[in-house]
Amino acid sequence: MTLEERAALEKKLRWKIDLRLLPMLVLVYIMNYLDRNTIAQAKLGGLVEDIDLTDSQYLTCVAILNAGYILMQVPSNIWLNKIGKPALYISVCMAVCGAISASAGATHNFAGLLCARFFLGFVEAAFYPGAMFTLSTWYKREELSKRMALFYTGSQISGAFSGLIAGGVVYGMDGLRGLRAWRWLFILEGAVTVAIAISAYFVLPNFPRTTRWLSPEEKEMAVYRLHAEVSHSEWTSSEDQITWRAFIMAMKDWKNWFFVVMVYGTGASLAVNNFFPSVLSTLGKGRVETLLLTSPPFLLSCFTMVTICWNADRTQDRYWHFTVPLSFSLAGFIIVASTTNFGARYFGAMIMIPGIYSGFNMAFVWTANTIYGPPGKRAAAIAFNNAFSGIAGLYSSYLYPSNAAPRYAIALGVSAGMLFMAICAATGLHFLLARENRKIEKQEQDSNGDDSLLTHPRGFRFLL
């Protein structure tokens, strides 16, 4: 095969995967995020009053999702890597998520809602790290950032339209067939998730060597594209898989612990998403107006995140594309905590939300680019880091009690501090990776062309 033919085949393959993988992952992520955050809109739709929740009980229902989420992320990604069929695994898990979410609309007490939220997190743990890992098995390092950004826009689109959907349901369906608006929110969004999850099975690919609708040449090209970067071909059968050993490998990699801090710091600040309608309700608007006001920051976030990640791929930079958005977000938290003026506070929200999500996405892009070795190691690192960040969700919900309104100063201050911690970790990692690149360069110079003496493929450098 000539170089021109190889380039044409690679372009055709990449386009084919883009069309099948990205739109469906975005669509599933929209529903995934709607399901997990429906409780925030349901609060304004009468949930708390109807099932007689105390403030602490509501906060516990918000937080408990993270308990199930934390428990299952690492085992889930290891199982996904062992099974080797993301199309089946992700689709089944998300269909179950939709059913659980819809069942929350039938709860009548604290215990019922608590159980639904716990098991929603337990099953939902399969999706985000599984999708991120699947993307990293199909795309090269220079292609990954903007694809992950496009995937992550699902959460932003969800955030933008959740307020619009909730506003429409609260305004037009409250009392329909004897059901309150919050019940309709859970039922409708859960049912749509089930339908989309079923269709995802027929669209999503598996791993490069196990996707049936690729030709033999396309499968070989998919493996070849990544082989030079990781020096390990994708595994195709369970006996070839590394399971818990991959997890140990990830835990022994010092670089990943910097990513743990970065993801934890950024993820902790994401708790504001569960209370964003409540924070905006302090601006003095009605229920429907407040729900509609939640949309613009997330719409801006879609544009910002894709632009940042596109430029990160273009420049092959990671550090500045992580720290600059987080710096804007940090400033946004400070503004929102410092004033109750409508204009100033809404401006703070408009820079706070895009900064958090852009930084959180870039942290995982940088992780996938940096954790060198077999795919199972990368899968374990992504899952562990995301699960560890969920620990913040267990306590951060309690930083937003009703009596902390309108400023929510403690919660917003803690979030700002966490972002600063993440920026510091990224700065340390940046300098240490630069040192590693100098070592790799010297090793290449001293090898006299003998690649067997190299610890990384010739030409490999960590992205800074």
**Cβ atoms within 10 A of the Cβ of 158, count?**
23
3-state secondary structure 330-393: HHHHHHHHHCCCHHHHHHHHHHHHHHHHHHHHHHHHHHHHHCCCCHHHHHHHHHHHHHHHCHHH
Residue-level pLDDT at 229? 58
Euclidean distance between CA atoms 142 and 244, whole angstroms:
29
Q: What is the mean pLDDT of residues 278-306?
A: 81
User: Which residues neighbour 457 within 8 Å (Cβ) at sequence distance 6 or greater?
Assistant: 228, 229, 231, 451
Which regions of 81-184 does DSSP assign to beta strands (E)?
Answer: none
Q: What is the mean pLDDT of residues 381-409?
A: 84
Taking only the tens place, the pLDDT of each residue in 247-290 is 888 899 999 999 999 999 998 998 887 677 777 777 777 777 87
Q: Which residue type, as a one-letter code, is found at position 418?
A: M
Nearest to 345 by CA among 400, 408, 265: 408
Of 142-156, 217-231, 307-321, the least confident: 217-231
Classify each residue of 290-312 as buried b or exposed e, where b means 16 or more C-beta atoms within 10 Å of its C-beta: bbbbbbebbbbbbebbbebbeeb
Q: What is the mean pLDDT of residues 359-368?
A: 90
Euclidean distance between CA atoms 111 and 261, whole angstroms:
34
Residue-level pLDDT at 104? 93
Nearest to 384 by CA among 71, 74, 67, 123: 74
Q: Which two tokens stand for residue 21?
A: 């993988």
Structural element, H or E, at residue 443:
helix 409-446
3-state secondary structure of 121: helix
Residue-level pLDDT at 239? 38
Predicted TM-score (pTM) of the model is 0.80
User: Which residues neighbour 27 within 8 Å (Cβ) at sequence distance 6 or greater?
Assistant: 154, 196, 200
Residue-level pLDDT at 228? 58
Q: What is the mean pLDDT of residues 401-409?
A: 82
199 band by pLDDT with thresholds 50, 70 and 90: very high
**How much of the chain, in percent, has pLDDT values that exceed 90?**
38
User: Which residues neighbour 434 within 8 Å (Cβ) at sequence distance 6 or greater?
Assistant: 464
Euclidean distance between CA atoms 440 and 457, whole angstroms:
10
Q: What is the mean pLDDT of residues 47-62?
A: 91
Domain 24-207+240-444, CATH class in plain words:
mainly alpha
Cβ contact 209:217 at 8 Å:
no
- 324 against 219, higher pLDDT: 324
Euclidean distance between CA atoms 458 and 35, whole angstroms:
45
Euclidean distance between CA atoms 347 and 102, whole angstroms:
35
Residue-level pLDDT at 174? 81
Taking only the tens place, the pLDDT of each residue in 424-436 is 999 999 999 999 9
Structural element, H or E, at residue 144:
helix 141-172
**Residue 339, Cβ density class (10 Å: 0-12 exposed, 13-18 middle, ≥19 buried):** middle
- φ, ψ of residue 228 to 5 degrees: the values are -65, -25
